[in-house]
């Protein structure tokens, strides 16, 4: 799904053709009518927000650019007919274009598709739910005019903030940023608000770079793959949603982590992977599944072994805890990590066979786990739970390797 970002003339895009109230106008604009700025609004079920947003943006941009801009709504075929609402607005807003995308979904790719079909020298994106105050656009455009390659609207610089966020939401947001700093410091560290979906960039900085984003955070793709010199930031306050609903689910958090790793692996790890064919992405999923198993394992170990509950022996408790975690992990791995394989080997008999193999390998793993746990606990005096954690980490690598080679035998690893 790698797509090259070039100045594709409007309409040359098959899947994503613009639709028009009357005749589609697919001609590239003449040079005197050259477009300076293309602003993309990705939408999914934003029918109640669209009219107001289009109106405010049009006023602002008419003042700034006259006629030399375009406002492109990229709608993923919303069930609430957002695209139809856009279509009805077109006669009153000559700079408005609507793209109704079918057969492809997702916030980041919607933005890329919009840019691909756009004509502007400066490319921008703004949420379609009015949570990004439109007035900030002007400051951002000024910063670009002053020479920046990229301007990001940020919650974390002067003048920025969030309106009414609870503790958990703030922690999740900052946690995601910290994780990004750990995995991809050179990219994430360049801006104060890498999670922002409100920014603009010079086309020349990203044209001819392959873009392959995943999930929600298109800015990290632009920073990671573009050729970005100067960066400017403008503070803004993230508004509360008045209409419609957020589309964020746990899935966006997983995608974010996978996206970070994908960007990271384009460098060093990518080359190592090519050389040794290490299935990094798969291991990551396996690791994530293993991580879920840690909680299952820890919880059961506590329930069985802790003096305040059942007070069973450490070894017995650990065996039971591991076995429950093994079942948990098998199901996730079969349905997710190795789905490409298991979907070709469907049927309950085959699944049971895989589970038996997985279980045997994990059983050997449990043996290894026990040995490590006991050595660390009895001989080195390491805390019981920390020792368990270390043992689990080592055994995860063991498990992945043997299961890859035996349980879900993949002859060709495609990503």
Single out the residue of 170, 9, 21 nearest to residue 90, CA to CA.
21
The item of ligand GDD, Mn ion, none sharing an interface with residue 195, based on CB under 5 to 8 Å by kind, is ligand GDD
Beta carbon of residue 300, minimum distance to ligand GDD (angstroms, whole number): 35
The reply on whether position 127 binds ligand GDD by CB under 6 A is yes
The reply on whether position 305 binds ligand GDD by CB under 6 A is no
Beta carbon of residue 245, minimum distance to Mn ion (angstroms, whole number): 9
CA 277 to chain centre: 24
In terms of CB distance, is 173 or 359 closer to ligand GDD?
173
Beta carbon of residue 183, minimum distance to Mn ion (angstroms, whole number): 25
67-96 residues in contact with ligand GDD (CB under 6 A) are 74-76
Among 131, 265, 305, 337, binds ligand GDD (CB under 6 A): 131
Beta carbon of residue 196, minimum distance to ligand GDD (angstroms, whole number): 5
Helix (H, G, I), strand (E, B) or coil at 86: helix
Q: How far apart are CA 187 and CA 360, in angstroms?
A: 42
The reply on whether position 196 binds ligand GDD by CB under 6 A is yes
The reply on whether position 129 binds ligand GDD by CB under 6 A is yes
Beta carbon of residue 76, minimum distance to ligand GDD (angstroms, whole number): 4
The item of Mn ion, ligand GDD, none sharing an interface with residue 106, based on CB under 5 to 8 Å by kind, is ligand GDD
Residues 6+ away with beta carbon under 8 Å from 204: 121
The item of ligand GDD, Mn ion, none sharing an interface with residue 255, based on CB under 5 to 8 Å by kind, is none
Beta carbon of residue 144, minimum distance to ligand GDD (angstroms, whole number): 18
The reply on whether position 195 binds ligand GDD by CB under 6 A is yes
**DSSP at 3:** E
Tokens of 346: 């469907």
Contact 220, 194 (CB under 8 A): yes
209-228 residues in contact with ligand GDD (CB under 6 A) are 216-217
Beta carbon of residue 195, minimum distance to ligand GDD (angstroms, whole number): 4
Contact 342, 310 (CB under 8 A): no
The reply on whether position 246 binds ligand GDD by CB under 6 A is yes
Q: How many CA atoms lie within 13 A of 77 on its CB side?
A: 9
Beta carbon of residue 181, minimum distance to ligand GDD (angstroms, whole number): 16
Dihedral sign (CA 114, 116, 121, 123): positive
In terms of CB distance, is 60 or 214 closer to ligand GDD?
214
In terms of CB distance, is 124 or 197 closer to ligand GDD?
197
The reply on whether position 99 binds ligand GDD by CB under 6 A is no
Choose the binding region for ligand GDD from 29-37, 39-47, 256-264, 298-306 (rule: CB under 6 A). 39-47
Q: How far apart are CA 113 and CA 74, in angstroms?
A: 8
In terms of CB distance, is 128 or 213 closer to Mn ion?
128
The item of ligand GDD, Mn ion, none sharing an interface with residue 130, based on CB under 5 to 8 Å by kind, is none
121-160 residues in contact with Mn ion (CB under 5 A) are 129, 131
Angle between helices 314-332 and 348-374 (to 10 degrees): 140
Task: At 102, give phi and psi (nearest 5°).
Answer: -125, 145
Beta carbon of residue 86, minimum distance to ligand GDD (angstroms, whole number): 12
Q: How far apart are CA 121 and CA 110, in angstroms?
A: 19
Residues 6+ away with beta carbon under 8 Å from 283: 400
Among 124, 197, 213, 365, binds ligand GDD (CB under 6 A): 197
Among 21, 248, 371, 393, binds ligand GDD (CB under 6 A): 248
Single out the residue of 207, 70, 222, 230 nearest to residue 146, CA to CA.
230
**DSSP at 96:** E
Residues 6+ away with beta carbon under 8 Å from 404: 279, 282, 410
Q: List C-alpha distances in Å: 220 to 60, 205, 257, 263.
A: 27, 14, 12, 9
Dihedral sign (CA 144, 149, 155, 160): negative
Tokens of 343: 């979907």
Q: Which residues make up the interface to Mn ion (CB under 5 A)? A: 129, 131
Q: Which residues make up the interface to ligand GDD (CB under 6 A)? A: 42-44, 46, 74-76, 105-107, 110, 127-129, 131, 195-198, 216-217, 238, 246-248
């Amino acid at each position: 799904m790698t797509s090259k970002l070039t100045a594709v003339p409007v309409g040359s895009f098959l899947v994503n053709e613009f639709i028009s109230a009357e005749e589609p106008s697919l001609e590239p604009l003449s040079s005197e009518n050259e477009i300076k700025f293309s602003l993309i609004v990705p939408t999914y079920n934003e029918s109640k927000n669209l009219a107001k947003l289009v109106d405010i943006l049009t006023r602002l941009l008419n003042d700034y650019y006259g006629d030399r801009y375009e406002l492109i709504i990229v709608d993923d075929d919303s069930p609430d007919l957002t695209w139809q609402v856009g279509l009805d607005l077109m006669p009153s807003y000559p700079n408005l274009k609507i793209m109704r995308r079918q057969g492809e979904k997702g916030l980041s790719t919607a933005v890329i598709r919009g840019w691909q079909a756009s004509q502007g020298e400066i490319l921008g994106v703004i949420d379609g739910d009015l949570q990004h105050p439109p007035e900030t656009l002007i400051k951002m455009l000024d910063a670009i005019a002053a020479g920046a390659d990229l301007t990001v609207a940020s919650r974390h610089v002067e003048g920025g903030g969030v309106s009414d966020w609870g503790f958990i939401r703030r922690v999740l947001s900052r946690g995601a940023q910290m994780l990004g700093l750990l995995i991809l410091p050179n990219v994430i560290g360049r801006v104060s608000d890498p999670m922002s979906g409100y920014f603009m960039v010079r086309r020349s900085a990203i044209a001819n770079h392959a873009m392959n984003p995943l999930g929600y955070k298109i800015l990290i793709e632009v920073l990671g793959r573009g050729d970005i010199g100067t960066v400017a930031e403008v503070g803004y306050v993230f508004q509360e949603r008045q209409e419609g609903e957020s589309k964020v689910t746990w899935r966006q958090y997983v995608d974010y982590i996978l996206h970070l790793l994908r960007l990271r692996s384009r460098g060093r790890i990518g080359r190592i992977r090519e050389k040794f064919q290490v299935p990094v992405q798969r291991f990551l999923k396996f690791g994530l599944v293993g991580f879920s198993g840690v909680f299952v394992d820890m919880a059961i170990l506590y329930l069985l072994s802790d003096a305040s509950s059942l007070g069973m022996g450490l070894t017995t408790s650990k065996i039971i805890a591991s076995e429950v975690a093994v079942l948990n992990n098998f199901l996730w791995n079969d349905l997710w990590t190795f789905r490409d394989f298991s979907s070709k080997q469907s049927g309950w008999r085959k699944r049971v066979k895989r589970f038996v193999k997985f279980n045997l390998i994990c059983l050997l793993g449990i043996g290894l786990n026990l040995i490590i746990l006991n050595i660390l606990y009895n001989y080195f005096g390491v805390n019981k739970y920390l020792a368990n954690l270390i043992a689990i980490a080592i055994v995860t690598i063991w498990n992945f390797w043997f299961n890859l080679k035996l349980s879900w035998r993949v002859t060709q690893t495609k990503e």
